């Protein structure tokens, strides 16, 4: 199954007065009709990075018009820059420009740019408007939708942040043509996640279309993005601040965050760590009696087809995993909470994993 | 009119699912029934300063019980510490203690502690619970109620922050017995503000009872706090995020922030700057034809009775005022918005002040 990308599509994240559209399609960046209606006033701060700026900054600005005050902050690229210090650079630029509460921040880049820009918007003058313009597959299907913003702390990922919804998400599928292969695979990890947690039919479609996706087939990519955003929008609308079902979106993330934290931000891509984390979650689910050997094999194979790593870092011990996982935001009081699979397409929150089962899993799991 | 303080009183800030109680009365600090019901879990981080800790920290902890994990951060005192660096110290302490999303921050101190603790809570793991325990008159009648949190930036006051409501506000009127005289006067400025913007009857009561208030008459103070919180709670319930009527609470604040920013945070107390700012606002209102000479004189006299400064800093020029006021958060696009008085007890938002009227006012206004 593939779909035409001729028609642009709009999904809605239904959050009452904080509802917003996700526009998906080619050619959105340079076309004023998509961004302008979502500006709060005449002051616009574009936040982007040194990789994306040369590719898309001018195209975005061309879609804004001459009657606005437009400023830009160009940050270094990479997860290592996802710090409070980078957010302070954004605040400094806003204050330097004299921007007021009716300004709009525009995040042009991947998840790191989106998370930092969103948090900068959430905390500037107690909250201003922002628009997500994600340019990586991973941010298009995941972080740009749902309002989670924030930065890392030396002691853990995303420890400082806010729930702050964008005014709109503009997904210009043309931007995927410049995406490095490794980042495409990282994005596919999050796409696979939606199949694993909520839609086994979509998982089957991904198994059948992985070659097309990796070959940058435009129609296949557009459908994968639309289906992923749609599943995410449903979940976010049910549970904006992650009191319940939204936690399911973290399948693979507790293990994955441990890998990223241990390796130092940026060495593994987020999607790569989540891919390996999902395989760990699937294997743990098998050991708890919920998944069959075949279902774990399917999980491994679809991740392999997306060219994602299937083994943990060589230098990461069981204790390395456990000490970082204990700080996970999902934990309540002293209990470790994991997202696991009752079946393919059926995720659950579980806080009863016997410590020895977890330790044995981490011991047995292959290392690179 | 005075009231007994024997009975503790509870007001409610009505904000739907974010509603919370304000408990007012003597002896709340050491009594478990007031704080415990508002804790989200078993992890408690008390944030206070070096002045307040020796006076009230042990009393507060005695009201918590032994079954909780209680940690504390003791910051230096003063507006100069209201920085992102102080908030980072709170985050570091939370992460060091391994506190999760069900922890509760308790702000024990004045407005600076409350604003920083609230912002730390708003941004820790995308938002955790906090309780305000204000120990100065100013924070009891103003900043502890309403959910405005944040820190200063070298370019302006409260530029970084969030709207984040506490779970409860505990106002132990016993704490006023240790308050320095100058801080009592600063708190009275905000009390007078409520009369000026919304309740001329309360203003008259303040004129009649200022000696009792300055003499620390317990009943008079309790009524002044209750009436002030009640007026503020009404306004916040009408307009949580300052889209409209809530801006009226900023009477005197645009001028006052300019004084604080120019002098360097902490030299003038916030309430002192607001007091002088309210006199500037009253005088500007007279020049716009809205207040009589007698009404400005009443304003001046009630501020004088509270022992507040009636002149601007000697070294502050008209341009000093204007350049800082242009950055005020209430401004929209390039228009200066001021809170002025159509009459005593009747404030309004005004963005049509002729620039030359404002400049002449600032030129004519007495200097110290």
- Whether residue A350 lies in the annotated active site: no
- Dig out the tokens for A150 from the structure: 């924030």
CB contact under 8 A, A333 and B41: yes
Judging contacts by C-beta atoms under 8 Å, the chain A residues touching residue B327 are 95, 98, 100
Closest CA to B229 of B198, B266, B271, B256: B198
- Burial code (b: 16+ CB inside 10 Å, e: under 16) for A291-325 equals beeebbebbbebbebbbbbeebbeebeeebbeebb
d(CA A112, CA A116): 6
CB contact under 8 A, A124 and B160: yes
Kindly report the three-state secondary structure assignment for every residue of chain A: CCCCCCCCEEEEECCHHHCEEEEEECCCCCCHHHHHHHCCCCEEEEEEECCCHHHHHHHHHHCCCCCCEEEEEEECCCHHHCCHHHHHHHHHHHHHCCCCCCCEEEEEECHHHHHHHHHHHHHECCCCEEEEEECCHHHHHHHCCCCEEEEEECCEEEEEEEECCCCEEEEEHHHHHHCCHHHHHHHHHHHHHHHHHHCHHHHHHHHHHHHHHHCCCHHHHHHHHHHHHHHHHHHHHHCCCCCCHHHHHHCCHHHHHHHHHHHCCCCCCHHHHHHHHHHHHHHHHHHCCCCCHHHHHHHHHHHHHCCCCCCECCCCCHHHHHHHHCCCCCCECCECCEEEEEECCEEEEECCCCHHHHHHHHHHCCEC
CB-CB contact of B359 with B257 (8 Å):
no
In the annotated binding site of B for Zn(2+), the residues are 190, 253, 270
Per-residue DSSP letter, B279: H
Name the band, by pLDDT with cuts 50, 70 and 90, for residue B68: very high
CB-CB contact of A282 with A295 (8 Å):
yes
Per-residue DSSP letter, B76: P
Instruction: Give this complex's ipTM.
Output: 0.87
- Confidence (pLDDT) at A4: 45
pLDDT in tens, A3-24: 444 558 899 999 998 999 999 9
Beta bridge partners of B163: B148
Sheet holding B168-172, edge to edge: B9-13, B20-25, B168-172, B129-134, B104-109, B43-49, B69-75
Judging contacts by C-beta atoms under 8 Å, the chain A residues touching residue B156 are 95
Higher pLDDT, B328 or A258: A258
Comparing CB atoms, the residue among A95, A96, A163 nearest residue B127 is A163
CB pairs under 8 A between A and B: 105
- Confidence (pLDDT) at B275: 98
Interface probe for A, chosen from B94, B119, B123 (most Cβ of A below 10 Å), is: B123
Report CA-CA distances (Å) from B283 to B186, B252, B358: 20, 11, 10
The DSSP bridge pattern shows strands B69-75 and A346-350 to be: unpaired
- Dig out the tokens for B49 from the structure: 């300063």
Structural domains in chain A, sorted by start: 9-178 (3.40.50.1970), 181-364 (1.20.1090.10)
pLDDT in tens, B16-54: 989 999 999 888 998 888 999 999 999 999 999 999 999
pLDDT digits (tens), chain A, 368 positions: 344 445 588 999 999 989 999 999 888 998 888 999 999 999 999 999 999 999 999 999 988 888 999 999 999 998 889 999 999 999 999 999 999 999 999 999 999 999 999 999 999 999 999 999 999 999 999 989 999 999 999 888 899 999 999 999 999 999 999 999 999 999 999 999 999 999 999 999 999 999 999 998 888 998 999 999 999 999 999 998 888 899 999 999 999 999 998 998 668 998 999 999 999 999 999 999 999 999 999 999 999 999 999 999 999 999 999 999 987 766 665 678 999 999 999 999 999 999 999 999 999 999 99
With 0-12 CB in 10 A as exposed, 13-18 as middle and 19+ as buried, what is B348? middle
d(CA B87, CA B99): 16
- Dig out the tokens for B332 from the structure: 């929209």
End-to-end CA distance of chain B: 35
The DSSP bridge pattern shows strands B156-163 and B104-109 to be: unpaired
Give the mean pLDDT of chain B: 93
What DSSP assignment string belongs to B304-325?
A: HHTT---SB-TT--HHHHHHHH
């Amino acid at each position: 199954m593939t779909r035409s990308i001729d028609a642009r599509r709009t999904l809605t994240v239904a959050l009452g007065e904080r509802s917003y559209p996700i526009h998906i399609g080619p050619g959105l960046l340079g076309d004023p009709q998509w961004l302008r209606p979502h500006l709060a006033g005449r002051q616009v701060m574009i936040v982007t990075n040194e990789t994306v700026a040369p590719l898309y900054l001018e195209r975005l600005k061309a879609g804004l018009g001459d009657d606005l005050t437009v400023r830009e902050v160009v940050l270094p690229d990479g997860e290592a820059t996802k710090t409070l210090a980078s957010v302070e650079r954004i605040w400094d630029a806003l204050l330097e420009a004299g921007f007021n509460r009716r300004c709009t921040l525009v995040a042009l880049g991947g998840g790191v740019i989106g998370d930092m820009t969103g948090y900068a918007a959430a905390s500037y003058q107690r909250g201003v408007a922002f628009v997500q313009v994600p340019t990586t597959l991973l941010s298009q299907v995941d972080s740009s939708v749902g309002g989670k913003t924030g930065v890392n702390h030396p002691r853990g990922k995303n420890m400082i942040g806010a729930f702050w919804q964008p005014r709109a998400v503009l997904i210009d599928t043309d931007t995927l043509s410049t995406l490095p292969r490794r980042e495409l695979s990282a994005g596919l990890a999050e796409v696979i996640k939606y199949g694993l947690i909520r839609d086994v039919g979509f998982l089957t479609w991904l198994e059948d279309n992985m070659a097309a996706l990796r070959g940058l087939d435009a129609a296949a990519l557009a459908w994968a993005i639309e289906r992923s955003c749609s599943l995410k929008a449903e979940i976010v609308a049910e549970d904006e601040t992650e009191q319940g079902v939204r936690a399911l979106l973290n399948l693979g993330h507790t293990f994955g965050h441990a890998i990223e934290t241990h390796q130092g931000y940026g060495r593994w891509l987020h999607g790569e760590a989540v891919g390996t984390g999902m395989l760990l979650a699937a294997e743990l689910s098998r050991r708890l009696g919920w998944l069959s050997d075949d279902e774990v094999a399917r999980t491994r194979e679809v991740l392999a087809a997306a060219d994602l790593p299937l083994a943990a870092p060589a230098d990461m011990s069981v204790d390395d995993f456990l000490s970082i996982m204990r700080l996970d935001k999902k934990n309540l009081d002293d209990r470790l909470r994991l997202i696991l699979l009752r079946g393919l397409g059926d995720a659950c929150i579980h806080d009863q994993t016997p410590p020895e089962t977890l330790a044995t899993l981490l011991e047995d799991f292959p290392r690179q």
